[in-house]
Amino acid sequence: MRRLISLAWLALLTALALLSLPVLAIDTVPTKDLPKFQDLPGIKRFAGSVLVFRDDVAYDEVSFPTGKVTFADGKISVAKTQAKAGQRSMLVYVAPPGRSPLEVLRNYQADLKSTGFAPVFECEGEACGMESTLTDGNNFGFGNTLFKDASFSTERGTAHVCAGGAQITGLRYALAGNAAAGETVAVLTWRPLVKGYAYSCPDAQENHTSVIVFRVQAKAMEQQMTTVSASEMTSQLTANGKVAIYGILFDSGKADIKPESKASLDEIGKLMKASSALKLHVVGHTDNAGGLEGNFDLSKRRAGAVKDALVKQYGIAADRLTANGVSYLAPVSTNGTDAGRAKNRRVELVLF
Give me the CATH number covering residue 316. 3.30.1330.60
pLDDT at site 322: 96
242 within a domain of the structure (yes/no): yes
My answer on whether 144 and 260 are in the same domain is no
CA-to-CA separations, 35 to 22, 25, 30, 95, 156, in angstroms, rounded: 12, 16, 12, 18, 19
118 within a domain of the structure (yes/no): yes
The answer to whether residue 189 scores a pLDDT higher than 70 is: yes
DSSP conformation class of 166: S
147 within a domain of the structure (yes/no): yes
Would you say the C-alpha torsion 87, 189, 210, 10 has a positive or negative sign?
negative
Would you say the C-alpha torsion 99, 100, 106, 112 has a positive or negative sign?
positive
My answer on whether 138 and 59 are in the same domain is yes
Domain count, the chain: 2
User: Which of 223, 238, 294, 308 has its CA nearest to residue 271?
Assistant: 238
Range of the structural domain that residue 330 is part of: 230-351
The string of DSSP codes covering 92-145 is: EEEEEET--HHHHHHHHHHHHHHTT-EEEEEEEGGGGT----EETTEE-STTHH
262 within a domain of the structure (yes/no): yes
My answer on whether 81 and 187 are in the same domain is yes
- pTM to 2 decimals? 0.59
Burial class (CB in 10 A: 0-12, 13-18, 19+), 272: buried
222 within a domain of the structure (yes/no): no
My answer on whether 124 and 98 are in the same domain is yes
My answer on whether 25 and 134 are in the same domain is yes
pLDDT at site 15: 40
pLDDT at site 61: 80
Name the domain boundary from 160, 191, 217.
217
Report helix, strand or coil for 53.
strand
My answer on whether 162 and 255 are in the same domain is no
My answer on whether 183 and 252 are in the same domain is no
SS3 content of the chain, % helix, strand, coil (to 5): 30, 30, 40
The answer to whether residue 224 scores a pLDDT higher than 60 is: no
Residue 146: pLDDT band (50, 70, 90) is low
**Cα–Cα distance for residue pair 4/167, rounded to 1 Å:** 6
My answer on whether 27 and 65 are in the same domain is yes
Cα-Cα-Cα-Cα dihedral of 105, 106, 111, 115, to 10°?
90
User: Which of 257, 254, 216, 258 has its CA nearest to residue 84?
Assistant: 216
Q: Quickly count: other Cβ atoms within 10 Å of residue 117's Cβ.
A: 23
69 within a domain of the structure (yes/no): yes
For the ranges 241-255, 284-298, 314-328, the maximum mean pLDDT occurs at 314-328
The string of DSSP codes covering 300-351 is: HHHHHHHHHHHHHHH---GGGEEEEE-TTSS-SS-SSSHHHHHHHSEEEEEE
My answer on whether 148 and 207 are in the same domain is yes
My answer on whether 149 and 297 are in the same domain is no
**Cα–Cα distance for residue pair 232/268, rounded to 1 Å:** 11
My answer on whether 17 and 136 are in the same domain is yes
Name the domain boundary from 217, 252, 282.
217
List the single range of 18-22, 230-234, 265-269, 298-302 with lowest mean pLDDT.
Answer: 18-22
Residue 143: pLDDT band (50, 70, 90) is low
Name the domain boundary from 183, 217, 251.
217
- Asked if residues 316 and 276 have their Cβ atoms less than 8 Å apart, the reply is no
My answer on whether 142 and 237 are in the same domain is no
List the single range of 107-111, 141-145, 305-309 with lowest mean pLDDT.
Answer: 141-145
Residue 58: pLDDT band (50, 70, 90) is confident
State how beta strands 167-178 and 50-65 pair: unpaired
Mean pLDDT, range 120-127, rounded to an integer: 90
- Asked if residues 42 and 217 have their Cβ atoms less than 8 Å apart, the reply is no
The answer to whether residue 141 scores a pLDDT higher than 80 is: no
306 within a domain of the structure (yes/no): yes
24 within a domain of the structure (yes/no): yes
Mean pLDDT, range 311-328, rounded to an integer: 95
Report helix, strand or coil for 27.
coil
The answer to whether residue 221 scores a pLDDT higher than 90 is: no
Residue pLDDT, tens place only, 68-104: 887 777 677 788 888 888 888 989 999 999 999 999 9
